[in-house]
Structure formats: structure tokens, C-alpha cells
Amino acid sequence: MAYAGLDVGTSGCKIAVYDLDGNILFRAARRYREQGGEGRRELDAKIVSRHVLDLIAETGKKCPVRIEAMAVASLGESVVCLDENGESLAPSMLTGDCRGIPETEWLKQKIGQEKIMEITGLPPNELYSLSKFIWLKNNTNIINNCKNILFFEDYIGYLLTGKMAVSYSSACRSMAFDIRKKSWSQDLLALAGIRPEQMSKPVEAGTIIGTVLPGMAEKLNLDPGMKIVAGGHDQSCAALGSGIYEMNGCETSMGTCEFMLFMLPCAQMSPYMLENDFTCIPYVIADKYLSSLEVTTCGILQTWGKETLFSRMSGESEERDANFFAELEAKIAGLRTDVLVLPQFGSSGNPRLSMDARGTICGLSIHTTPEEIFLAMLEGIGFQLYLAYERLLKLGVKPEYIAATGGLAVSDMILQLRADIFNIKVIRPAGGESGTLGCMLLAATGIGAYPSLEEGIRRAVRVQKSFTPDPASHDYYMGKYQKYKILYERMHDFK
């Protein structure tokens, strides 16, 4: 018997099938691209669903063992609006989409940011769904014409089972979910003209949603008795798949954005959290809460550097079928530079979330090399997270290690950089698929294959490699970090 995890992200989807010891029995992936321009970032739900269903069909056909259950993790905030026939009415706005900025200011004045924080655990911001719902209401007929509004997690579950259920961890990304009552806030949804019945039923992660529809099971080569279990927000599932069960660990997911999750001692919402854009969100483990730090430009900034600073080198690497980033890291290993970079190229993360920020590169001379600028970009992402982390410590978080996941976590250099800046051990979980592994843990526990999530973590989660902080490097980076803080205070709101 086997259990699957499906991870639906911004730039692609992937699936992995596991046994109960965490061994991967089958895996596959598909890529797609976001659309947009001039501040708009979108995903076409029709394209995503086509790739996802094709991926599941391949898995059903080629996986050598029967799959008992599957859970889905997905990107947060973005929703799919469906008409009476189940067809998508418009592309889905992504986190970094600039629409919703005036609507967020209106929300603060109408409701008050303290009340919104108290209900939802989220500091009001345009990255969350509610602001974008209000934009749709004010600028289109989509809200009036849609029958159902789903996140990608419950959208895929709905396609497979015909039932609408969404995990608390995804629902909370709407900024319209009451995290204490574990239900939709009718008052907040009403501001966008939405009724709670248009939304999926909120459920605890690990809840059985239903059995795959007979026609869908036949089409996708699946066992007709296969269960779909509620998964969660992709970042929370990756934290679970990294073994984060107690407060001594935190997780950082390094993808298009970088997202760090820390377990809170209790649910808390305070003016201090509002001031720093700190969240309080339900974890995929019952009755546990997380706070998050985010840099909205991580992998996407490195791609910018590749295409802007190293277009020739990257082209040559592709011609030789070589790994460009691995070759570049070999060039910058051991470099020291006076260059500083604020990594908020178009949007920024904590402690001041903004979807229209501007980045800064300073400390240049006529001798500065592209390699030095690229290294300073990597340092800047680490410094920005550390800046917010220093403030987060006041909430009582106590991490002893950082579990690094996502596509960029394959880089030893980047993980050593994190360890040296934070002065905390960094681990890379084995397998490289923490998001799908977290979903597998939820699916297997949901149908009773594990007696508890904790037991599942003990059996299935392993460490591939650890990175210990180097004291001399930490001292060097703290010296440079003091300059970074000055630059941040002077330039973070430059437009």
C-alpha cells in the first residue's frame, strides 16, 4: 500500500508516492508559467488543472503500487472562481499581484486593522485574498457571476471528489477566516459581496474529504476506493514534511518566494505583530499555530540576476547542458564584497509587506563584478529574513535549527550562508520533497495508517545533510548586517 502527496505551486505541480517509511515509490512533475505584466501576476486555472490531472493520470498508470489516499498542498491566497458549469471565470491573481492595494487601505478604514488581525490572525495586506475579492467586486462582474470560490487545494479536491472542503491553513490565507471559531467570517466576506456558502467547508488538515469519483478514477487510472484527504497551504505542508512538530524547529521554504515558519507558544495577535506584519496562522497539526516571515523575491530574484547579469554565461551553460547556478556558485564561493542589496525588487516581505516596493543595490565601484552583485543578492535575502527574525524573537519563538526545503535548498552554499547569518544549525531533509511528504503524512494519518502525525514524522522524515554555523563567518556577516540595517531604514520605502 502507498500514499501520495500532490503539491500545486506557482510555477509547476509535482506528485510523489511513498510507503509508510518515507521511501519514494514514484514521482513526477509538470511545469507551467504564470502570466501578467505591469504589476499583474496570474495563473490560468484551466492550464493548471490540465497539468495536474495529466500528472495524476501518469501516476495512476505508472506507479507500481496501489495508492490508498492522497492529500493536496497548494499555493496560498490565489483562488479559482467557478460558474454554474464549473468553468473558471478568470485567471487567478497571485500573491505578488499589485491589485488590491487601495482596497486594503479601504479595509483598514472600514473595519480597522486591529479587528481584522483579531479575527483572522493576519495583518491587513493586499497579498491576501480578501483585498483581491474586493477588487474583483469593484472592477468586474466575476463575484456576481460565480457559484463557487476555491483555493487551488480544494479546487483539485473538488475535481476529484465533487466535494468542497478546504483546510484551515489554506482558508486562513483569505483574510476572511476566523481562526478562533474555525469558520468563515460572514462580515468580512460580505465586504466583497461573497456568501459563506460560495466557499468550501473549512476542515482540519487530515480530514477525509471523500472518495475519488468513479468516472475520474477510470479516467486517471486510480483505484476506485482511493481517498482524498485535506492537505493544506504548501508552506505548512512543507514544514510538516520537514519534521516540524515542536517549537525547537522552524522551516524555510526556498522557492519563488522564501517563507519561514515558526511555531508560536500559543495563538496571539498583538499591536506589535501588526507593526511588523507578523501572522498567527493555524498549522496543519491541530491546535498549533505558526507565525511567518517572508521575502517575496527569492528564486525570482535569482532568475532576474541570471537573465540580467549573466545572460551570456547562462546561455553558454545551457549549450553545454550544465547547471548555471552550480557553476556560478563555484565562482562566488569564498568571495567577500562591500556590495549591499535590498532584495525587494517590486515587492517586499517582513517587517513591512508591500506589493509595490523597490530594490536597491549600493556599494558599487568600477571594479565591482557581476559575481559580487549576485552574492550580495543572496546575502540580502538572508539579511532581510534575519532583520524580521530579530523582531520575531519577542513573540517567544525558540528555534534550535532551521529545516530548509524547496528548489533552492539544493544549494550547499545558500544553506551555509543561512547558518552563518542566523548562527543556527540548518538541515536539509532527505528526499527533497518536503511538501509532498507532508501531504503523505496527512493522507496516511487521515485514514489511520499512522496512529498519529508524530509517529509518521518519526518513521518517514530523515535528514540528508546538516550545516553548522562558522563563528568567523557569523562575525563577518553581523558586521555587514549592521550596514544593511542602516540601508534598509533609509531605503526600504523608496519609490
Distance CA 90, CA 46 (A): 10
Cα angle 40, 177, 402; round to 5 = 75
Mean pLDDT confidence for 94-117: 93
> Which cell goes with 270?
498583538
Given a contact cutoff of 8 angstroms between Cβ atoms, the answer to whether 241 and 438 are in contact is yes
Given a contact cutoff of 8 angstroms between Cβ atoms, the answer to whether 302 and 409 are in contact is no
Note the Cα 395 to chain centre separation in Å: 22
Could you tell me the CATH superfamily of domain 2-241?
Answer: ATPase, nucleotide binding domain (3.30.420.40)
Tell me the percentage of the chain whose pLDDT exceeds 90. 88
Mean pLDDT confidence for 59-65: 97
Residue 495 has pLDDT above 80, yes or no: no
Residue 135 has pLDDT above 80, yes or no: yes
The predicted-structure confidence for 43-54, as pLDDT tens digits, reads as follows 999 999 999 999
pLDDT attached to residue 318: 86
Whole-prediction pTM value? 0.89
> Which cell goes with 422?
542566523
Given a contact cutoff of 8 angstroms between Cβ atoms, the answer to whether 255 and 9 are in contact is yes
pLDDT attached to residue 353: 79
Distance CA 10, CA 1 (A): 30
pLDDT band for 98, please (50, 70, 90 cuts). Answer: confident
Given a contact cutoff of 8 angstroms between Cβ atoms, the answer to whether 44 and 95 are in contact is no
Mean pLDDT confidence for 183-197: 97
Given a contact cutoff of 8 angstroms between Cβ atoms, the answer to whether 427 and 463 are in contact is yes
351 prior amide bond cis, ω within 30: yes
Cα angle 465, 378, 492; round to 5 = 135
Q: What is the mean pLDDT of the chain?
A: 95
